[in-house]
Amino acid sequence: MINHIEPNWNIDEIKNLNYKFAPFKDEVLVSQYAQSGHDRSKISVYNYHEPSFQKDD
């Protein structure tokens, strides 16, 4: 298992990628969290991924 990769990237390049807002896709689970008091809009992430990458999480 890999525990660490020596940093060798330009963080500014990464920060400038064209991220899209992505609410979590498990609507049933998000509804449960929202009903218990969480803010639905905060259960989300921004991502930028390969075209072929099927993102499930």
The first and second tokens of residue 42, run together, are 């905060």
| Separation between Cα atoms, residue 29 and residue 13, nearest integer Å | 34
Query: Whose Cβ is closer to another protein: residue 21's or residue 53's?
Result: 21
Q: How many CA atoms lie within 13 A of 22 on its CB side?
A: 14
Between residues 44 and 47, which has the closer beta carbon with respect to another protein? 44
Nearer to another protein, 9 or 21 (CB): 21
Provide the binding-site residues for another protein, judged by CB under 8 A. 32-33, 36-39, 42
Tell the smallest beta-carbon distance from residue 4 to another protein (Å). 13
